[in-house]
Amino acid sequence: MAPSRREALVQLAALAALPLTRWTYSATSPLEGTIAEYQAGRQRGTWNAAEVTALAIERCHAEGMRWHAIDALSSSAIAEARAADERRRAGRMRGPLDGVPVFAKAIYDVVGLPTTASNADWARLFPEPVRRDALEVARLRAAGAIVLGKTAADDFAYHGNGTSSHTGQVLNPHDRTGTRTPGGSSAGSAVAVADGMAFAALGTDDGGSNRIPAQFTGVVGMKPTFGLVPRTGVIPTWPYLDTHGPLARSVADAALLLAAIAGADASDPLALTGAWDAAPLASLQDDALGGMRLGVVEEHVPRGQMTAEAVAMWDRALGDLRGAGATVESFASSVTRVNVREAFASAARARGDVAVDPDSPAPTANALLRYFAGRTDDPRAALRRGYPAYQKFYNVLPATFEECEPLFDRPMVEDPAGRSFARSRSEVVASLASSMRAAGVAAMVYPTMPFNAPRAVDPWPDIRTALGYGNWLGLPEVSVPAGLGADGMPALNVSIVGLPGDDARVLALAHAYERHSRRLIAPPRVG
């Protein structure tokens, strides 16, 4: 529905009040630029990986602790950076991530560090350093990346506010009052990237845990196609929803991280098994939006509940997309956030299948046992020890370890409710794909979040978002900053969303939007 004349004037006034954010990266510090700029500086001899890694650790000790963003720092990062410098001098670099400082989230296993899950009880129960890397961490190391350590998150990655019982409330570095949330659960990962402590970080997303903090801190967050990134060695959440992906300050940097961590691995029973071609992610084109038709699902843009500033930001973002060559039109999708759950249930009923349930307790119980089996010689004893603390958050699980025991050995792929969910996902995605093809729509766009960061202690606005829609359908989604609000805080991100398998395309479209709009948000510097 078109806005009234009065609403249009209010939106124009809000747009006029927005600061210009056509910022280009500065070479003041390599940590505030892109990975490509950093590597170019290394090749010129302007800096080396050991120097920049030391600077990153210094920032972590200062600003990282100030924002409560750091869970643990690695003692081997400087040595790894020196090894990367040796590889560069010998002409044996492993690729574009070689020598690049990055972070993992607190629920990832990292050799030599305890896995606290950002939970005070687990930090006390499991203080010993783990002896393995999560698969994604191992893949980053294989690509030459320097894993600085682990970032704070919501306990067990369960909420979206950045509240850890272990390290405290993660704070938003853009907020001088020290009161506003960075979002979560991948709070520390987003803050580390936003504040220039690392170039990129790993995060997880069951219902917005990468995309929410991406918007609230003004960085790029991605939720890849479900199953594209195997999750082995990471404390599990909901196996049929959980998706792992990158946070970075630019789309190109996020693409480099995804290229390193994606690809089949049999250790995750729900991961995709087909071949993965990462080559397109290395050369994203600035003109990728030219001639593309993008669909706006009106149910995903709650204009009536958004502030005038948020609406103005959104309309400006649509103008930026059109200015980059895209056609942006309303799209009457067969599947929206309003009807997606009923579509899944209806498909199950038509099959005569059991009711769908992505939160079914058995897959999470099995995933938890599989996690401990990979990190300890006595997984059941460790699981028994940690179960009460975990169950407080994932309380769909039985109240006691003994009650849950029958579920631990039930393979997650054989859970009836989970299998029904997966079958419905396939059918509902096929319906969405059909409606997109019929409309000639290459991708959908909507605001990542229709409001900016509230205070950490306040209830969030009661506005429905499309975040869970993407997880239920397993869609790849890239969330890109659309600029600062009048208060100087990151105000809105644009989500560019495709069909499963369209990861390279949505990254290319997001990159083209980012390059054309130039609304990148500089890392905040504090005194």
Helix/strand/coil (H/E/C) assignment for every residue in 233-273: CECCCCCCCCEEEEEECCHHHHHHHHHHHCCCCCCCCCCCC
- DSSP lists the bridge partners of residue 402 as none
One digit per residue, pLDDT tens: the chain, 527 residues? 444 545 444 444 444 444 443 444 444 689 999 999 999 999 999 999 999 999 999 999 999 999 999 999 999 999 999 999 999 999 999 999 999 999 999 999 999 999 999 999 999 999 999 999 999 999 999 999 999 999 999 999 999 999 999 999 999 999 989 999 999 999 999 999 999 999 999 999 999 999 999 999 999 999 999 999 999 999 999 999 999 999 999 999 999 999 999 999 999 999 999 999 999 999 999 999 999 999 999 999 999 999 999 999 999 999 999 999 999 999 999 999 999 999 999 999 999 999 999 999 999 999 999 999 999 999 999 999 999 999 999 999 999 999 999 999 999 999 999 999 999 999 999 999 999 999 999 999 999 999 999 999 999 999 999 999 999 999 999 999 999 999 999 999 999 999 999 999 999 999 999 999 999 888 887 55
Closest CA to 272 of 476, 69, 525, 451: 476
Is 185 one of the catalytic residues?
Answer: yes
164, 185, 186, 495: the active-site residue: 185
Helix/strand/coil (H/E/C) assignment for every residue in 98-111: CCCEEEEECCECCC
Q: How many residues does the chain have?
A: 527
244/265 Cα distance (integer angstroms): 14
186, 209, 250, 424: the active-site residue: 209
171/188 Cα distance (integer angstroms): 9
C-alpha torsion 197→200→205→211, nearest 10: 80
Is 164 one of the catalytic residues?
Answer: no
CA distances from 521 to 143, 195, 267, 481 (A): 27, 10, 38, 7
329/133 Cα distance (integer angstroms): 45
Break the chain into its structural domains and give their ranges. 9-331+441-517, 361-413
Residue by residue, DSSP assigns 155-222 as GGG--SS-EETTTEE---TT-TTS-B---SSSHHHHHHHHTTS-SEEEEEESSSTTHHHHHHHT-EEE
pTM of the model: 0.94
Q: Give, in words, the CATH class of 9-331+441-517.
A: alpha beta
105, 333, 479, 495: the active-site residue: 105
